[in-house]
Structure 1
Amino acid sequence: MNLEGLRVMGIDPGLTRCGLSVVQAGRGRQIIPVAVGVVRTPSTAELSERLLRISRAVGEWMDDYKPDVVAMERIFERGNVSTVMHTAHAVGVMVLAAAERDIPVHMYTPSEVKKAISGNGRADKKQMTAMITRILGLSEAPKPADAADALAIAVCHCWRAPLIARTNQLTAKAAAQ
């Protein structure tokens, strides 16, 4: 797989606000931003309607931008089980949208993304937004934070993809022997 030119869709999953981004890998660590946005669903709507809206929006992004891979934040327990469950439902429809298009999905923990982007696995939102703005050479910071997070997840995958590809090659080679 040629990693230069790899198109990555980054997703910061959420039911109320879901950050979406698309970036293109260049030479070395160069990343070119393609698109960034947020899908919003009203908290007053039924869960099924909210999931349908997210699924349609994510599917449209996948169809419009044709990513090679989807990188998504792995959900973790934040103390509020209801929030985690709602986010998990949203992740399910987004993974399904990717699977329907034969797009592989890679998941990263928030600390993995923070470490890749800022060098600090405990960086705060302000630090992360400043770093992603600088890395991508943006004239202004992406807003809201969900959009910046989606970009950070996509960039994290671009930078980790060579190691993932090499590991997969070695695993396949060992299995063939």
Structure 2
Amino acid sequence: MTCRRCIPISISRTPSFPNWSSCKGINGAQKPAGGYSWNGVRHSGRQFCAVADRTPDLQPPAGLWMISMKIIGIDPGLDRTGWAVLESVPAAAPRLLASGLIHTAKGLALEKRLAEIFDAFSAVIRDHAPGEAAIEEVFFSKRADTQANTTHARGVILLACEKLSVKITSYNPKTIKKTLSGSGSAQKPQMQRMVQLTLDLKEIPRPDDIADAMAAAICHARVAPFKAALARAAR
């Protein structure tokens, strides 16, 4: 959550003010690794906020530059793997950049289907260059074959992220639901509606695989900045 007085600036560049180090510990004060870009957020007040709308007793340099993330959300499956790439910018709603499905034919051998998922997902990462990924944890299913297939698909997706240096975070399905809707037991229609509202989509996102991937990415866009801020505060 960012300050209501923060004004997003459309341009992006690397900050060059001399007293940048004086903001150590404030959101965006440390230059990030690959997958990030510097995006400007100028504050209209005398002070500026870092986390949860609180205003620290600090003065920013001549302009406050914060970090934007490009996130890929994934809903793994052997038959269909949904993916969605979002750009998360401070002081603004996340923006959908691209989404899609990876299909595999049921008649193929398991190893060939997994190879297809790995190759197709690796191509998606190369095309869109996300810095971080969000994926659902595998939940218990009464159908052991369904759970095993999802686990296999999830494994090759994790491998692709590791090989292409994409930091991946796993989320419990209930955490994703609660982050978006406020309820860990929200049903699919409610979740799809929340995804539509958050991303300002003209229609309800379909199919479910893509909508779930969008939800995972939105969850990470909201949770990751708070985790990073807490980690900096603990140093």
TM-score for both structures, normalised by structure 1: 0.92
Corresponding position: 1:8 with 2:71: yes
| Higher share in helix | 1
| 1:95 maps to which of 158, 171, 175 | 158
Q: Secondary structure at the match of 1:6?
A: strand
State the distance in 1 between where 2:111 and 2:231 align: 37
Corresponding position: 1:37 with 2:84: no
Q: After TM superposition, list the pairs within 5 Å mapping 1:41-52 onto structure 2.
A: 41-52=104-115
Equivalent pairs, count = 172
| 1:143 maps to which of 206, 213, 228 | 206
> Aligned-pair distance for 1:29?
5.1
Greater relative contact order: 1 or 2 (C-alpha under 8 angstroms, separation 6 or more)? 1
Segments of structure 2 that go 5 or more residues without pairing to the other structure are: 1-31, 33-37, 39-65
Segments of structure 1 that go 5 or more residues without pairing to the other structure are: none
| 1:128 maps to which of 186, 191, 196 | 191
> Aligned-pair distance for 1:168?
3.2
State the distance in 2 between where 1:62 and 1:22 align: 9
Matched to 2:138, the amino acid is: I
State the distance in 2 between where 1:143 and 1:101 align: 28
Asked whether the 8 Å contact 1:13–1:19 carries over to 2, the reply is yes
State the distance in 2 between where 1:28 and 1:79 align: 42
Q: Secondary structure at the match of 1:122?
A: coil
Name 2:227's counterpart in structure 1: 164
| 2:181 maps to which of 118, 135, 153 | 118
State the distance in 1 between where 2:189 and 2:106 align: 26
Q: Secondary structure at the match of 1:121?
A: coil
Shifted more, 27-36 versus 1-10: the winner is 1-10
Asked whether the 8 Å contact 1:29–1:159 carries over to 2, the reply is no
Shifted more, 38-47 versus 146-155: the winner is 38-47
Corresponding position: 1:27 with 2:90: yes
| 2:215 maps to which of 116, 129, 152 | 152
**Percent identity among equivalent residues?**
34
Q: After TM superposition, list the pairs within 5 Å mapping 1:61-80 onto structure 2.
A: 61-80=124-143
Name 1:104's counterpart in structure 2: 167
Greater Rg by CA: 2
TM-score for both structures, normalised by structure 2: 0.70
State the distance in 1 between where 2:127 and 2:183 align: 34
> Aligned-pair distance for 1:143?
1.2
State the distance in 2 between where 1:166 and 1:84 align: 35
